[in-house]
Structure 1
Amino acid sequence: MIPPPPRSFEPTSAEAGAWADVLVRRRLLHTAVLTPTGQWLVQEHLNGPVGVLAGPADVLALTATIQHHIRSTGPESR
Protein backbone atom coordinates (compact mmCIF):
# COMPACT_ATOMS: atom_id res chain seq x y z
CA MET A 1 0.00 0.00 0.00
CA ILE A 2 1.33 3.41 -0.94
CA PRO A 3 1.28 5.96 1.90
CA PRO A 4 -0.66 9.15 1.23
CA PRO A 5 1.32 12.30 0.46
CA PRO A 6 1.96 14.62 3.39
CA ARG A 7 -0.73 17.21 4.07
CA SER A 8 0.04 20.67 2.76
CA PHE A 9 -2.41 22.34 5.16
CA GLU A 10 -3.47 22.07 8.78
CA PRO A 11 -6.65 20.16 9.63
CA THR A 12 -9.64 22.31 10.53
CA SER A 13 -11.98 22.06 13.49
CA ALA A 14 -14.74 21.05 11.05
CA GLU A 15 -12.65 18.15 9.74
CA ALA A 16 -11.75 17.07 13.26
CA GLY A 17 -15.40 17.33 14.27
CA ALA A 18 -16.47 15.13 11.38
CA TRP A 19 -13.94 12.46 12.34
CA ALA A 20 -14.85 12.72 16.03
CA ASP A 21 -18.50 12.21 15.10
CA VAL A 22 -17.63 9.10 13.10
CA LEU A 23 -15.58 7.65 15.97
CA VAL A 24 -18.42 8.19 18.44
CA ARG A 25 -21.15 6.90 16.08
CA ARG A 26 -19.08 3.78 15.36
CA ARG A 27 -18.57 3.35 19.13
CA LEU A 28 -14.82 3.57 18.83
CA LEU A 29 -14.91 6.43 21.35
CA HIS A 30 -17.49 7.08 24.05
CA THR A 31 -17.36 10.84 23.60
CA ALA A 32 -15.42 13.63 21.92
CA VAL A 33 -16.21 17.26 22.77
CA LEU A 34 -14.71 20.44 21.35
CA THR A 35 -14.08 23.03 24.06
CA PRO A 36 -14.25 26.82 23.55
CA THR A 37 -10.43 26.93 23.73
CA GLY A 38 -10.09 24.63 20.71
CA GLN A 39 -9.03 21.62 22.76
CA TRP A 40 -10.88 18.32 22.51
CA LEU A 41 -11.99 16.21 25.45
CA VAL A 42 -12.12 12.53 24.56
CA GLN A 43 -13.19 9.49 26.53
CA GLU A 44 -12.74 5.95 25.26
CA HIS A 45 -15.16 4.29 27.69
CA LEU A 46 -18.03 5.57 29.82
CA ASN A 47 -16.13 5.40 33.12
CA GLY A 48 -12.67 5.82 31.60
CA PRO A 49 -10.34 8.75 32.04
CA VAL A 50 -10.90 11.89 30.00
CA GLY A 51 -8.06 12.80 27.66
CA VAL A 52 -7.29 16.29 26.41
CA LEU A 53 -6.21 16.77 22.80
CA ALA A 54 -4.58 20.08 21.89
CA GLY A 55 -6.44 20.62 18.62
CA PRO A 56 -7.66 19.25 15.28
CA ALA A 57 -4.31 17.71 14.34
CA ASP A 58 -4.40 15.58 17.50
CA VAL A 59 -7.95 14.41 16.71
CA LEU A 60 -6.81 13.31 13.25
CA ALA A 61 -3.76 11.59 14.77
CA LEU A 62 -6.04 9.71 17.18
CA THR A 63 -8.30 8.74 14.27
CA ALA A 64 -5.31 7.41 12.33
CA THR A 65 -4.16 5.41 15.35
CA ILE A 66 -7.61 3.86 15.77
CA GLN A 67 -7.84 3.07 12.04
CA HIS A 68 -4.38 1.48 12.10
CA HIS A 69 -5.36 -0.66 15.10
CA ILE A 70 -8.56 -1.81 13.39
CA ARG A 71 -6.76 -2.67 10.16
CA SER A 72 -3.86 -4.43 11.88
CA THR A 73 -6.09 -6.67 14.01
CA GLY A 74 -7.82 -8.16 10.97
CA PRO A 75 -11.46 -8.88 10.16
CA GLU A 76 -11.85 -11.52 12.87
CA SER A 77 -11.93 -8.83 15.60
CA ARG A 78 -14.62 -6.68 13.96
Structure 2
Amino acid sequence: MIPRPSRSSEPTTAEADAWADVLVRRQLFHAVVLTPTEQWLVQDRPDGLVRLLQGPDDLLALAATIQHHTRTTRPETR
Protein backbone atom coordinates (compact mmCIF):
# COMPACT_ATOMS: atom_id res chain seq x y z
CA MET A 1 0.00 0.00 0.00
CA ILE A 2 1.25 3.47 -0.87
CA PRO A 3 1.43 5.73 2.20
CA ARG A 4 -0.87 8.72 2.07
CA PRO A 5 0.83 12.13 2.31
CA SER A 6 -0.09 14.26 5.29
CA ARG A 7 -2.47 17.16 4.79
CA SER A 8 -0.98 20.56 4.16
CA SER A 9 -4.07 22.38 5.45
CA GLU A 10 -7.05 21.93 7.75
CA PRO A 11 -10.20 20.40 6.23
CA THR A 12 -12.67 23.01 5.02
CA THR A 13 -16.42 23.13 5.52
CA ALA A 14 -16.83 22.71 1.75
CA GLU A 15 -14.77 19.52 1.79
CA ALA A 16 -16.74 18.17 4.75
CA ASP A 17 -20.00 19.08 3.00
CA ALA A 18 -18.95 17.10 -0.07
CA TRP A 19 -18.19 14.06 2.10
CA ALA A 20 -21.50 14.49 3.95
CA ASP A 21 -23.29 14.33 0.59
CA VAL A 22 -21.43 11.15 -0.35
CA LEU A 23 -22.22 9.48 2.98
CA VAL A 24 -25.93 10.18 2.57
CA ARG A 25 -26.09 9.33 -1.16
CA ARG A 26 -24.34 5.99 -0.51
CA GLN A 27 -26.88 5.37 2.28
CA LEU A 28 -24.18 5.05 4.90
CA PHE A 29 -26.07 7.68 6.93
CA HIS A 30 -29.68 8.80 6.99
CA ALA A 31 -28.77 12.47 7.49
CA VAL A 32 -25.71 14.68 7.89
CA VAL A 33 -26.54 18.33 8.53
CA LEU A 34 -24.30 21.36 9.02
CA THR A 35 -25.46 23.65 11.83
CA PRO A 36 -24.99 27.44 11.90
CA THR A 37 -22.22 26.93 14.47
CA GLU A 38 -20.20 24.83 11.96
CA GLN A 39 -20.94 21.62 13.86
CA TRP A 40 -22.43 18.57 12.16
CA LEU A 41 -25.49 16.54 13.16
CA VAL A 42 -25.15 12.92 12.04
CA GLN A 43 -27.87 10.26 12.11
CA ASP A 44 -27.24 6.78 10.74
CA ARG A 45 -30.90 5.70 10.49
CA PRO A 46 -34.26 7.49 10.71
CA ASP A 47 -34.97 6.27 14.23
CA GLY A 48 -31.34 6.42 15.38
CA LEU A 49 -29.64 8.75 17.80
CA VAL A 50 -28.26 12.02 16.49
CA ARG A 51 -24.54 12.56 17.09
CA LEU A 52 -22.88 15.95 17.21
CA LEU A 53 -19.52 16.36 15.50
CA GLN A 54 -17.50 19.44 16.37
CA GLY A 55 -16.34 20.45 12.91
CA PRO A 56 -14.97 19.46 9.50
CA ASP A 57 -12.07 17.56 11.12
CA ASP A 58 -14.46 15.22 12.90
CA LEU A 59 -16.62 14.64 9.84
CA LEU A 60 -13.64 13.85 7.64
CA ALA A 61 -12.24 11.53 10.34
CA LEU A 62 -15.59 9.70 10.39
CA ALA A 63 -15.60 9.41 6.59
CA ALA A 64 -12.01 8.10 6.64
CA THR A 65 -12.90 5.50 9.27
CA ILE A 66 -15.86 4.29 7.22
CA GLN A 67 -13.76 4.19 4.05
CA HIS A 68 -11.00 2.24 5.80
CA HIS A 69 -13.50 -0.22 7.27
CA THR A 70 -15.16 -0.69 3.88
CA ARG A 71 -11.86 -1.30 2.11
CA THR A 72 -10.47 -3.70 4.71
CA THR A 73 -13.61 -5.82 5.14
CA ARG A 74 -14.67 -6.36 1.53
CA PRO A 75 -13.57 -9.54 -0.20
CA GLU A 76 -10.46 -9.28 -2.31
CA THR A 77 -11.38 -9.24 -6.01
CA ARG A 78 -7.95 -9.00 -7.61
Question: Considering the TM-score relative to the shorter chain, is it more than 0.5?
Answer: yes
How many equivalent pairs are there? 76
Q: Which runs of 5+ in 2 are unaligned?
A: none
Corresponding residue of 1:3? 3
Q: What are the residue-to-residue correspondences of 1:3-22 with 2, within 5 Å?
A: 3-22=3-22
Corresponding residue of 1:47? 47
Q: Secondary structure at the match of 2:41?
A: strand
Write the deviation string for residues 39-69 of structure 1: whole angstroms up to 9, x where unpaired.
0000111111100000001110000011011
Partner Cα distance (2:24, 2:75) in 1 = 20
Q: What are the residue-to-residue correspondences of 1:1-78 with 2, within 5 Å?
A: 1-75=1-75
Q: Secondary structure at the match of 2:20?
A: helix
The alignment's TM-score, normalised by the length of structure 1, stands at 0.92
What RMSD, in angstroms, separates the aligned Cα atoms of the two structures? 1.2
Write the deviation string for residues 18-57 of structure 1: whole angstroms up to 9, x where unpaired.
0000000000111000000000000111111100000001
The alignment's TM-score, normalised by the length of structure 2, stands at 0.92
Give 1:73 deviation, angstroms.
1.3
